[in-house]
Amino acid sequence: MKLKVSLYPAPIWKRALAYVIDVFVVNLIIVMPFQKVLEDLGKGLVNKGFFETYKLLLQTDLRVLLPKLFMIFTVVSFLSVLYWAILEYKIGQSVGKILFNIYVKSQAEKLTFWQCFLRNVTKVSTLPLVLDASYMIFTRGYQRYFEKLSKTFVAEPRYTL
Whether the predicted pLDDT of 86 surpasses 90: yes
**Integer Cα distance of 8 and 24 in angstroms:** 26
Q: Give the residue among 81, 82, 67, 72 at the shortest CA–CA distance from 128.
A: 81
Categorize the per-residue pLDDT at 37 as very low, low, confident or very high, splitting at 50, 70 and 90. Answer: confident
Backbone phi, psi, residue 144, to 5°: -70, 160
**Integer Cα distance of 50 and 154 in angstroms:** 44
Categorize the per-residue pLDDT at 35 as very low, low, confident or very high, splitting at 50, 70 and 90. Answer: confident
Q: What is the pTM of this model?
A: 0.82
In the chain, the number of structural domains is 1
**pLDDT attached to residue 141:** 77
SS3 assignment, position 82: helix
Share of the chain above pLDDT 70, in %: 84
Burial class (CB in 10 A: 0-12, 13-18, 19+), 104: buried
In which domain, by residue range, is 91 found?
4-160
